[in-house]
Amino acid sequence: MQIKFADGTIFESRTPVGERQYVRNVYRDTITFVFDPKEKTTDELLNVFTDREKTKLMILSNPDKEGEEYTYTGYSLFHRLIIEDEVTVRETDKEPEKSESLIKVTMAQKTYIEELADVQQGEIDALNEVVADIIGGVYE
């Protein structure tokens, strides 16, 4: 799967997994993206997934299937990044078990109240800038 972020950054991921998890004292919808550590570093992933401006809009698409595209908004709360071994070949009488390390990044969706609070904070910031312009000060 291909993930396109709000700023145009594109990452390749294995098929993401969605589920409900308890994150920041609330049950939320989450998406876990799976990456090969040979292709992406944890620093690269953290730089993008912890930036709320980039993750406010994520478009998942399958380059192999035209028209298969999913848009996700509000999944901007970084929950965790873990490196985990996953079994790729089960142990048999003839072959030992094989596994590979994968990087998993989980993003959580904001609640409706959190979204409203963000909108209100944006309005307050805009009003503070107007007031600062009127009285000749600087809003920081």
Ordered DSSP codes for 36-92:
-TTT--HHHHHHHHT-HHHHTEEEEE-TTSTT-EEEEES--EEEEEEEEEEEEE---
Shared domain check, 29 and 86: yes
Domain that holds residue 136: 111-140
Total domains in the chain come to 2
From first to last of its 140 residues, what are the pLDDT tens digits of the chain? 999 999 999 999 998 999 999 999 999 999 999 999 999 999 999 999 999 999 999 999 988 888 889 999 989 999 999 999 999 888 899 889 999 999 999 999 999 999 899 999 999 999 988 988 888 866 66
Shared domain check, 12 and 50: yes
Shared domain check, 29 and 64: yes
**Model pLDDT, residue 133:** 86
**Model pLDDT, residue 89:** 86
**Model pLDDT, residue 136:** 81
Shared domain check, 70 and 126: no
The helix (run of H) or strand (run of E) holding residue 124 is: helix 112-135
